[in-house]
Chains A and B, each alone.
Chain A
Amino acid sequence: MSAVSQPGASLGRVETRRTVLFTEDRPLVLESGERIAPVEVAYETYGERNADGSNAVFICHALTGDANAAGHHGDPARPGWWDNIIGPGRPIDTDRFFVVCPNLLGGCQGTTGPSSTDPSTGRPYGLRFPIFSVGDLVTVHRALAAHLEVPRPLAVVGGSLGGMQALQWALDYPDDLGAAVIIAATARLTAQNIAFSAVARAAILRDPDFRGGDYHEHGQPAYGLSLARMIAHITYLSEEAMREKFGRRLQNSEVPRPGFDVDFQVESYLEHQGTSFLNRFDALSYLYLTRCMDYFDPFADEAEAVLRLHEGRTRFLLVSFDTDWRFDTSHSKEIVRVLLAAHRQVSFREIASPWGHDSFLLEIPEYHRTVQAFLRQLANGNGH
C-alpha cells in the first residue's frame, strides 16, 4: 500500500469571511415557499481561483462542521475539521484547486440560523425559523458560488450530511457540477437513524432550559444538548473502535468504584464530548439540521430521479467505510444503483477502516489516495 504522495503542509493561518447573499429585496425562498432574509453566510476559501473559476472545489460540511475546514485561526494545534485532506499537496490540493467551504444554512458558526436575529422582532428566531431542506442548503451554496464567480464547480465534496448536499446538488442542477464526491453518506435515513435523531432531539426539547426555543437570554439547554451529542457519538464510532479505544478500562482508578459517577473511560469520553460541544454548537441548529436529514429522500420518486440524473454530466465518486454502522455500505450502494440506472459515470469503493462513521474525517491512506486520484484526473480534464 503506497501512502498519499507528499502529505504536504498545512495552510497555516486562515480567516473566515462573511457575506450577505439574500436581502429583504431578494430573500431566500425555501422549497416550502417560506422566505428568510437577510441570509448571511460565513465561508473560507483556500488556494487561487483560476480565470474562469473552473478549478473550484466546494466543501459541504457535516452536521456540526463549520467554515474552518483547513488551516487554523491562530493556534496551529487546533486546525480545521478537515485539515488532513485539504492543503498544499494534500488530496484536496490547494496548489491546484480553489477550495470553498461555507457554514451551512441553519448553522451556528456565522451563517444565518435559528439563533440569528429575526429582523421582524429584533430577537432570535427560535422555533419561528422555518423548517428547511437539504435542497435549501444547496440553494444557499449556489448563491455563494455565484458570489465568488464560480459558475460550475469542478467538484463538490462532502461526508455524511455533506455528501447528502453533494448528491442533492447533482440531482437539482445536473449541469452545474463537474463531479460529486459523496463520502459515508445516504440517500435516505433508516428508521434506526431517525430513531437516534429523535432521542437526541427529545433530550433537547424536554430540557426545561430549552424554554420553547427562547433560551437565548438564559443560556443554552446544556443538559439536553450535551446528552444529544453523547447519543450521537455512540453512532459515530464502531463497536470495534470503542473496544480498542476504551475497552472496559477505568478512568481514574485501578479497581472499579461501583456507584453512578463516571468510572469507565468510555463514560468519561462521552461526558467530554457532550460538554465540549456546548461551547461550539447551538441547540436550535441541532434540532433543525437533524430534522433536515430525517426528511431527506431524493430518490423517493426513483423514476423521476433517474430521469433528472440522466440529463446531467456530473461524474460521481462514492466512498463508504466497512465499519460505519450509521450509514453503512448499503446506503452508498443504493446511491450507486440509482446512478448506474441513470447511466452516470460512477466510481465506488468501500474502504477498510476500524473507526466507523468518523472514518471520513480521519487520515486513512487508501481513502485519501482514492479522493486524490479522482480529483486529479478531473483537473487534468481526463473525462470521457
Chain B
Amino acid sequence: MRADLQVVADLVPPGSEVLDLGCGDGSLLQHLMQRRGCRGSGVEISDEGFHACLERGVPVLQGDIDQGLDDVADGHYDVVVLSQTLHALRRPAFVVEEMMRVARMAILSFPNFGHWPLRMNLAVRGRMPVSGFLPYPWYDTPNIHLCTILDFEDLVTERGLEIDRRVLLDSEGRPAHRRAIRRPNLLAAAVVYRLRAPGL
C-alpha cells in the first residue's frame, strides 16, 4: 500500500464503518477490512478501479462523487475518506459538505500547492509545476481544484468544521520531518486531515 494511504489508515479508528470516496483499486479498504476490523465500501468512477475492487472482494459502487451521495443516509458511516481526490473534483466544497453529512468523521488528503518546489517552478522557471503528487502536464490533468494548506484551512473555518488531526507528508507520502511543522505550507508536499463536525 502507498505510504500516504498508510497514514490515512492509521487515522481510522479500528472497527469503523468506512466509506472511501474515489477508492481506486480498493487497497486502503482491503487493508482496513483485513487489519483494522473495519467494514466499508468504496465509490469509484473508473472501470479499472471498480474491477480491481471486485477482484479484491471490496464492495464498490461505481459512481461520480461530484453528483453527491444520494444513496447514503445522514450519519450512516463512522468515517468517510477522500484520499488524493479532492483536487480532481468539480465541486470540492460540496463534496466536503456531503462527507460531513454521511459521517461524523472525515479524513482527507491532498497535495499542498504551497510546497516550495512547486512555488519555485512557477516563480523562477515560469512553468506550471509537475511533481510526484501532481505528475500531469497542464493540458492533460484531472487536477482542476488545487489548493494550499492555508487555502484549505480557510474553507474548514468558513464551514465551521473542526480539525481533529493534521499529518504533514513529504514528497514520498511519508510523515514529513518534524521541522516541517514550523512552515507547513512551504515544507509539506501533501497533507492528511481528520475533520469532525463541530460539537462531536
Contacts and interface: CB of A to CB of B under 8 A. Distances in A.
A346 B17 contact: no
Contact of A348 (B55, B62, B73): B62
A377 B55 contact: yes
B60 A347 contact: yes
Interface in A13-36: none
B33 interface: yes
Q: Identify the interface centre among A315, A340, A374: most chain B CB within 10 Å of its CB.
A: A340
Given A340-B71, A340-B72, A340-B76, A347 B59 contact: yes
A186 to B, nearest CB: 16
Contact of B59 (A315, A370, A378): A315
A370 B44 CA distance: 14
A333 B70 CA distance: 10
Given A377-B56, A384-B57, A343 B47 contact: no
Contact of A349 (B57, B62, B73, B76): B62
A350 B111 CA distance: 31
A373 B58 CA distance: 11
Given A336-B71, A341-B76, A384-B33, A347 B51 contact: no
Contacts of B73: 340-341
B47 A1 contact: yes
A350 B62 contact: yes
Given A340-B71, A384-B33, A384-B34, A348 B54 contact: no
B39 A382 contact: no
Interface in A357-384: 366, 369-370, 373-374, 376-378, 380, 382-384
B53 interface: yes
B23 to A, nearest CB: 12
A370 B34 CA distance: 23
Nearest to A319: B62
A337 interface: yes
B110 interface: no
Given A336-B71, A345-B41, A370-B51, A382 B57 contact: yes
Interface residues of A, number: 27
B61 interface: yes
Contacts of B50: 349, 370
A377 B60 CA distance: 14
Contacts of B60: 347
Contact of A336 (B34, B61, B76): B61
Given A337-B71, A341-B76, A346 B51 contact: no
Contacts of A340: 41, 71-73, 76
A64 to B, nearest CB: 30
Contact of A377 (B39, B41, B54, B72): B54
A369 B53 CA distance: 13
A333 B47 CA distance: 18
Contacts of A315: 59
A383 B57 contact: yes
A376 B76 contact: no
A359 to B, nearest CB: 16
B28 to A, nearest CB: 13
Contact of A345 (B51, B59, B71): B59
Contacts of A333: 70-71
Contacts of A346: 41, 59, 61
Interface in B57-84: 57-63, 70-73, 76
A31 B79 CA distance: 41
B47 A347 contact: no
A348 B61 contact: yes
A382 B72 CA distance: 25
Given A346-B61, A369-B51, 12 more contacts: A340-B41, A341-B73, A345-B39, A345-B41, A346-B59, A347-B54, A370-B51, A374-B54, A377-B56, A380-B57, A382-B57, A384-B57
20 contacts: A317-B54, A333-B71, A336-B61, A336-B71, A337-B71, A340-B41, A340-B71, A340-B73, A340-B76, A341-B76, A345-B59, A349-B50, A349-B62, A370-B50, A373-B55, A376-B55, A380-B57, A382-B57, A383-B57, A384-B57
Interface of A: 1, 315, 317, 333, 336-337, 340-341, 343, 345-350, 366, 369-370, 373-374, 376-378, 380, 382-384
Please provide the 8 A-B residue pairs with the shortest distance between their CB atoms, ordered closest to farther: A382-B57, A373-B54, A384-B33, A345-B59, A349-B62, A377-B57, A337-B71, A348-B61
